[in-house]
Amino acid sequence: MEIRHLRYFRAVAEELSFTRAADRLHIAQPPLSQQIRQLEEELGVQLIDRDNRPVRLTEAGTLLLERAVAIMSQFDAAVDDVRRIGRGHSGKLAIGFAGSAMYSVLPDVLNAFRDRYPEVELSFSELLAAEIAEALSRRSIDVGFSRPGLPPDPSIEQRLLITEPLMAAVPTRHPLAARATIPVEELHGQAAVLYPRHPRPSLTDLILDALGERGIVLELKEGARNMQTALGLVAAGAGISFVPASVCGHGRSGVRFVGIEPQVLTSPMTVVWRKDHASVALKNFLQIVETVGPAHG
C-alpha cells in the first residue's frame, strides 16, 4: 500500500462517486477504479459497495476512511515540516556565547533572526571560550560567539565579528576614577579583578600578555567567572578590571569606565561553527550575523 492508494480511496469515500473522485484527483476514472481494486485485493477486504448508487462504504471502508484521514494529515504535516527545515524556516539551533556578547552584537542578531525565522527554536548557553570549542566538538551547540577567538582547528570555521577596545573598570573612590584617560603605564602594580585563565584561550591571557609586552604587571586579587561578577567586585573596591567598550553603556553603580592610552588592550569577538555542519537554519543564521555584525564593528 502506498500513500497514493489512500488518497485515491479517500476521494472516492468522500465523494461517494468514482466519477466525481476522478475529477477531483484530475485522473481518468478507469485507472482510479483499478487502484481501488488493487487496494482491496492487498487488504483482502471489500471497502466500497459498488451495487448502490451512489456507492457506499462497507464497515471496513468506513474504518479505513477514518484512519486514512488521520494518516494523511500526519503525512502532509511531516512533508511540510521537512520542507520548512530544508529551507531553514524550522528546526533548532543551540547557541553558545561569551557573556559580553549580550552587550554588543548578539541581541541584534537574535532579534533579526527571530523576525525572519520565527519558527526556529533557539537555545542558549553562556560559556567561556574554551568551553565553546568543547561544546562544538561534542555537537552540543551549533554556533558560538567567542571572546577571545579560538585557536586554529581544522574542524572549526571562525569569522571575526568585531574588535573592541577594553576599558578600565575602576571603583568610583579609586584615584584613577578621576582621570579622563589612564596612561597604560599607570596600570602597573594595580590590584585587578580578572577572569579565569583556565581553560584556555582566555580573555585574561589576552590582557596579561598585552600588558606584559610593556613590562606592566598587575596584582591579581580576585577571580570572577563573568563580567557582572567582576564589576560587582570592582564596585566593592576589590580592584580594577577590564571590559569591552560595549559593556560601558550599561552603567554599574560604584564603577567608572575609563579609556586607556595608548589603546593597547583590545578584545576580538568571533563567530564559530563546525565546518561539517549542514543545517540550513545555521546557514540562514550566519547570513543574519554577516548582515548585522558589521554595524557593531
Q: Quote the CA–CA distance of 165 and 216 in Å, as a whole number.
A: 18
Residue carrying the nine cell digits 580573555: 203
Given this model, what pLDDT does residue 87 score? 63
pLDDT at 224: 85
Per-residue pLDDT at 297 exceeds 60: no
CA neighbor of 93 nearest in space, from 107, 115, 108, 113 = 113
Look at the block and give the residue holding cell 549580550.
102
| 4 residue type, one letter | R
pLDDT in tens, 173-225: 999 999 999 999 999 999 999 988 877 778 889 999 999 999 999 999 867 88
Averaged pLDDT for residues 237-255: 90
| C-alpha grid cell, residue 61 | 471502508
Mean pLDDT (the chain) is 89
Q: Does the pLDDT value for residue 64 go beyond 80?
A: yes
Residues written for the chain: 297
pLDDT at 89 over 70: no
Architecture of the CATH domain 3-86: Orthogonal Bundle (1.10)
**Residue 141 predicted with pLDDT over 80:** yes
User: Which residues neighbour 206 within 8 Å (Cβ) at sequence distance 6 or greater?
Assistant: 148, 267
Q: Does residue 172 register a pLDDT over 70?
A: yes
Beta bridge partners of 167: 243
Kindly state the cell numbers that stand for 153. Answer: 582547528
* pLDDT of residue 166 exceeding 80: yes
Share of the chain above pLDDT 90, in %: 54
Widest pairwise Cα distance in the chain: 102
C-alpha to C-alpha distance for 238 and 188, rounded to whole angstroms: 16
pLDDT > 60? residue 88? no
Domain boundaries, the chain: 3-86, 91-296
pLDDT tens-digit readout, 3-55:
888 889 899 889 898 989 899 889 999 999 998 999 889 999 999 988 878 88
**Topology given in CATH for the domain delimited by 91-296:** D-Maltodextrin-Binding Protein; domain 2 (3.40.190)
